[in-house]
Chain A
Amino acid sequence: MSWLQAILIGLMSCTAASTIACLGTTVGNYTLNRPLVASLFVGLILGDVSGCIQIGIPMQVMWIALVTPGGTVASDLRAVSYIGIPLAYVGAKAAGMDFGGNDAQGLASSISAMTGVIGITLFYGTAMMNLIWQHWGWAQLDKGNLDCLGKVDVVLPLISHFVLSFLPVTLLCYYGSGAVAELFQSLNTEVWYVKAILSVGSVLPAVGIGILLKSVVSKTSDLIYFMFGFALAASMRLTLIAATVVGGVFALINYQMTMMKATGAVGGASADYDDEEDI
């Protein structure tokens, strides 16, 4: 990887830095930070769009839903997207793996888990550094300088990004890619522990789905709907969109029932029913 490529990837990581992204929530965090989208840009930078997207797919599945309630992150995807994807790609290429094959997919998932941990450090670091700018901002507000707000909210955090996103990502991509390529060139995928590392990948997406499940399940009995959806796809072979439609039917029924309960319509109906039984 050349310096230019590493620098471009470093810049991308700033635009996409999780909730603090310098391109904002919608474009930064929820677009450029997603591994699937990132794989397109990393592919353009490294000159192999199709290969990088294939590497990005298992990483995206793993982190399909990343809810950050109250600023506690499960992972900051900037590291997965802009350290994990380039390094996994370089490694898979050096080892001569088929990007869509099981080995490459397993490698991508394993690297994705490791880089997720780096991401958390970067996230908390950036949030802490922003405290400096905010401290300055409060002092300015006390003096009646309202125009400092734009500087505090938009301009100064760029320094945090430079220190805690651009520098680590660029350096890790540049020096890491050389090391990874060297390591993987001589990699024998038949050795038992290498085999095991590559197969770790199949288990990890379960965690991503588990995070997602946690965000939609509020009581344990809700799990029956989850199993229902699971059976729709696994046993009845419904596609995701078809399952969405079936889920929509249950949502509508649930809404009508809740509203009936609320307006007391059910009470009236059951009273009628009782009358009939008496007869």
Chain B
Amino acid sequence: MKKISKKTLNSSFWRWWYGNLTCFSHEHMQTFGYMWSMLPIIKELYPTREEQSEKMTTYYPFFNTEPQIGSIVVGITAGLEEARANGAEGIDDEMINGIRAGLMGPLAGIGDSLIVGTYIPILLGIALGFAEGGSPLGPLFYIIVWNATSIWFQKFVYFKGYELGGSAVELLVGQKATAFRESVLVMGQVIVGAMAASWVSISTNLVITQSYDAETGKLTDVTLGSKLDGAFPKILTMLFVLFAWWLMAKKNITPIKVLLLFVVIGFVGSVVGFLG
């Protein structure tokens, strides 16, 4: 009975953690990181060079996902490779690559929206609060909390994947997982709304009319901004964010073009006296 040693598993994990994207190209993305990570495992399980080379071909196909949550896939294949070396039935190139290909998409969806799209912005948001006035406490908070939690999480899912092997798949793409993902996204949507209101401030000082104060006998300017805010606080900010979203999500305009468009809008808006 062959068993991958703890040391080799650790080495495989750290290689993936570090090297998942270091040799990124659009053609192979994370493929080389994946192979480098599998190398110690394959070397330990198969004694001859010929066999090692042959087993490595399993990991030639393209691989790309959100690499941090994706460490579970590397863990799963480590478990499967061990079973294959012990002569388990039905584990071949096709089966392993079926699992890899089947998990890439869903995991990228979870990782991009939950880790990159929700968790990191929340941490950064808290850090921005600490950093006010130029305090190094903000960046230090983010460096420590993000790295500690993220590395712990990646190591945890790698070893979970190794333990569960192929049975991890149901856990990741099953009904419960989908419901969980969608629910966390609801939280994400609420948080992004709060972030928009807290960090973006777009206002207009355009004077639309003047009001007469009977007691003092003075005329005061009434701005469009104050009228709008009376209806819904910071509504102009919200409309700008929704506009940016609409351009990117519905019109498929790249973010950088939207950014340049907003530079123009900001410039013109300021010159004509609408924004500011």
Contacts and interface: CB of A to CB of B under 8 A. Distances in A.
Contacts of B240: 203, 206
A16 to B, nearest CB: 12
B140 interface: yes
Contact of B142 (A37, A133, A200, A202): A37
Nearest to A260: B179
A255 B128 contact: no
B122 A230 contact: no
A65 B18 CA distance: 22
B112 A240 contact: no
Interface residues of A, number: 117
Contacts of B5: none
A117 B259 CA distance: 10
Question: Could you say which of B126, B238, B244 has the most chain A C-beta atoms within 10 Å of its C-beta?
Answer: B244
Contacts of A210: 241-245, 247-248, 255, 258
B29 interface: yes
A234 B197 contact: yes
A180 interface: no
B64 interface: yes
A56 B127 CA distance: 12
Nearest to B271: A196
Contacts of A70: 64, 108
A222 to B, nearest CB: 5
A214 B151 contact: no
A233 interface: yes
Contact of A229 (B39, B189, B247, B258): B189
B116 interface: yes
A69 interface: yes
B255 A225 contact: no
Contacts of A218: 185
Given A153-B22, A156-B23, A217-B245, A259 B179 contact: yes
B40 to A, nearest CB: 10
B259 to A, nearest CB: 5
A54 B134 contact: yes
B33 interface: yes
A213 B39 contact: no
Nearest to B203: A202
B187 A244 contact: yes
Is the contact region of chain B dominated by helix, strand, or loop, or is it mixed? Answer: helix
Contacts of A49: 134, 136
Interface in A5-56: 19-27, 29-31, 34, 36-37, 39-40, 43, 49-54, 56
Interface stretch (A169-177, A182-190, A246-254, A265-273): A246-254
A75 B256 contact: yes
Interface string B61-95: 00010011000000000000000000000000000
Given A207-B259, A235-B232, A241-B126, A53 B32 contact: no
A179 interface: no
A150 interface: yes
Given A24-B19, A60-B128, A130-B23, A247 B191 contact: yes
Contacts of B198: 233, 239-240
B122 A225 contact: no
B211 interface: no
B233 interface: yes
B19 A209 contact: no
B241 A206 contact: yes
A50 B56 contact: no
A232 interface: yes
B169 interface: no
A256 to B, nearest CB: 9
A209 to B, nearest CB: 5
A167 interface: no
A230 B17 contact: no
A139 interface: no
A128 interface: yes
A137 interface: yes
A66 B248 CA distance: 14
A50 B131 CA distance: 9
A100 B234 CA distance: 22
B186 A75 contact: no
Contacts of B60: 141
A231 B60 CA distance: 50
B25 interface: yes
B134 to A, nearest CB: 3
**Pairs A-B, 8 closest by C-beta atoms:** A229-B193, A210-B244, A50-B134, A247-B190, A243-B194, A200-B266, A233-B197, A74-B255
